């Protein structure tokens, strides 16, 4: 059971799920030759997908390519259902980063068959999550920088100003589809620069100058 860490202390509740959005940055949609959505493309990662973004990340080696997607992650602190944008922002307890890991070959087959993506997106360990810092640090939700380096090479360098669906309306919309409970995590989409992970890759992810998360990939 994954328990988030907020300001260096265990959060009061474990995470039950991560609620995610696909294609929330136009440049990322373009790099995968996907159309830009007219409404949020939402999906869920289950509790067992959540692990700490720290140390060794053990990923499947027998299901084709595993792709990384770095995202700003939000830690929900209050129950949200049919929330307004103001209520949605007030319920965010912390902000961090997470990886939406994707079995890209598996996903491609599922898409061709018009099947759901859970096998590709919701496998165990598919959502490494950093520590969180208090949302009180955020003065502008439309100006948060995130960065991912692999083996000391910057692969993703984005900013929330480029989101198609901004934080407040996104979380409010999610709450109309799924009840968000304390401890749940919202993933807000990935900027361009996604790619395949290899055994032994050394990852470093950061949000502003507030936090940094480090891990090594192990394919097994």
Question: What residues does each domain of the chain span?
Answer: 5-219
CB 189 within 8 A of CB 22: yes
The encoded tokens of residue 136 equal 């009180």
The pLDDT assigned to 26 comes to 77
Predicted confidence band at 32 (pLDDT cuts at 50, 70, 90)? confident
Report, as an integer, the average pLDDT of 14-31: 88
Q: Could you give the maximum distance between any two Cα atoms of the chain, in Å? A: 44
Q: Which residues of 135-164 are buried (b: 16+ CB within 10 A; e: fewer)?
A: beebeebeebebbbbbeeeebbebebeebb
The pLDDT assigned to 111 comes to 87
Other CB atoms within 10 Å distance of the CB of residue 184: 26
User: Residue 154: in which H helix or E strand, if any?
Assistant: strand 153-159
Predicted confidence band at 29 (pLDDT cuts at 50, 70, 90)? low
Across all residues in the chain, what is the average pLDDT? Answer: 96
Report, as an integer, the average pLDDT of 208-212: 98
Nearest to 25 by CA among 182, 185, 136, 187: 187
What does each C-alpha distance from 40 to 22, 46, 129 come to in angstroms? 7, 19, 22
CATH, domain 5-219, list 3.50.50.60, 1.10.287.130, 3.90.850.10, 3.30.479.30: 3.90.850.10
- What's the DSSP call for residue 178? S
Give the rounded distance of the alpha carbon of 200 from its chain centre: 22
Report, as an integer, the average pLDDT of 128-136: 98
Report, as an integer, the average pLDDT of 153-178: 97
Burial classification of residue 114, based on how many CB atoms lie within 10 Å of its CB (0-12 exposed, 13-18 middle, 19 or more buried): exposed
Model pLDDT for residues 46-80, shown as the tens digit of each residue:
999 999 999 999 999 999 999 999 999 999 999 99
Share of the chain above pLDDT 90, in %: 93
pTM of the complete model: 0.96
């Amino acid at each position: 059971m994954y328990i988030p860490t907020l300001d260096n202390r265990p959060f009061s509740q474990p995470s039950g799920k991560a609620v995610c959005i696909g294609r929330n940055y136009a440049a990322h949609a373009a790099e995968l030759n996907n159309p830009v959505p007219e409404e949020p493309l939402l999906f869920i990662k289950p509790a067992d997908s959540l692990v700490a973004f720290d140390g060794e990340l053990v990923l499947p080696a027998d299901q084709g390519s595993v792709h990384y997607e770095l995202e700003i992650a939000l830690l929900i602190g209050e129950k949200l259902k049919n929330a307004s944008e103001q209520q949605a922002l007030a319920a965010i307890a912390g902000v961090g980063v997470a990886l939406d890991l994707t079995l890209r070959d598996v996903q491609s087959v599922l898409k061709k068959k018009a099947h759901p993506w859970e096998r590709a997106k919701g496998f165990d360990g598919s959502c490494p999550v950093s520590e969180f810092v208090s949302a009180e640090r955020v003065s502008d939700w439309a100006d948060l920088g995130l960065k991912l380096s692999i083996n000391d090479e910057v692969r993703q360098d984005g900013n929330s100003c480029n989101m198609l669906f901004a934080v407040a309306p996104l979380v409010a919309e999610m709450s109309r589809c799924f009840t968000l409970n304390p401890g749940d995590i919202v993933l807000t989409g990935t900027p361009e620069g996604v790619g395949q992970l290899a055994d032994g890759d050394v990852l470093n992810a950061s949000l502003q100058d507030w936090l940094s998360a480090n891990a090594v990939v192990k394919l097994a």
